[in-house]
Structure 1
Amino acid sequence: MSIIFESDISENVLIRTAEKMATAARTAPKAKGIDNLVVTIATVDTIKLISEKLKDLVKEGKGPEYFIRDAENILNSKVIVLLGTGIKPAGIKYCGYCGFSNCEEKLQHPEFPCAMNTGDLGIAIGSAVSVAMDERVDNRIMHSVGIAAADLNLLGEEIKIIYGIPLFIGPKNIFFDRK
């Protein structure tokens, strides 16, 4: 006779869920079929690095105080899904959603994101968290984690907009129980 306790499998469940989330993000629809997404899974060592960076950003005056809370909070997670995008124009005529009249004009301002890229990222994030929900794994979309990951260039220099989705299995969602 053998017994497997939930606590013995939860880390594997988190990894499997993160892998499914990465797949859902990758297969989410993209404007004109152009894929500018980078999807990664951060584990404990990288989570610690992100946590320290969040604290540093506050110390340097580059982040709000709640980054400290998030820095501590993510240390309870064994896995964080990181999703990011570049900000290259999609090449859609007469779009203007970025605030410029066309993609050629937007190219003269490379620091501004293409609205299609950010829209694609949002759709990919929605697809990813729907998988976590289906698996009944607690999660939260965190821009703070993405800011730290971008500052660390974890997804590469070209990836300017990143969000992190820490995962947790427990009796209640720790990412929404905040002081």
Structure 2
Amino acid sequence: MTTKVSVKNVQGFSVIELIVVIIVLGIIAVTAGPAFMSRDGIAEQRVQTELLSALRLSQERAMQDVKQRCYGIAIGASALTPYECGQSVAPERVINLASEVNVVVTSALANAQTRWLFNSWGCPVSENHTSNAEPCGQSSVEFAISGVTTRYVCVQSHGYIRSGACST
């Protein structure tokens, strides 16, 4: 036994309906697409994330090794490098800056724009800490990571490390 299907009962989309759907999808793609596919600020976000990790690791090492007072971050024009008592660090731990990214350090600590350290309590201190132990509460350290966008990392004067500007 065979059944017959009538061609009149089969329905589909008309050409006009298909064109309207394509136009609506095109409008959505043009307006929402750039927001999802934009690479604006990716380099700054990468530096911010890696810097937060490097700072927390240096702070932890400074708090564990109370005999040596030389753990911190060295700031260069093209890289941010963990500073560990003059020892070389693995290349994968160096935060290389893309050409469009600039890092500015703001702090009252002496020479904080080039290098600063953590003390055994995890607070930011100047490079002089290697010869004279310095206490907590001297100054916060703020990193402004700028390029297409600007992101901030703050190390508060008592050692709390967070994303965002120190003034907020």
- Tell me, yes or no, whether TM beats 0.5: no
Higher relative CO (Cα under 8 Å, sequence separation at least 6) belongs to: 1
Bigger radius of gyration, 1 or 2? 2
Bigger fraction of residues in helix: 1
Bigger fraction of residues in strand: 2
TM-score under structure 1 length normalisation: 0.28
TM-score under structure 2 length normalisation: 0.29
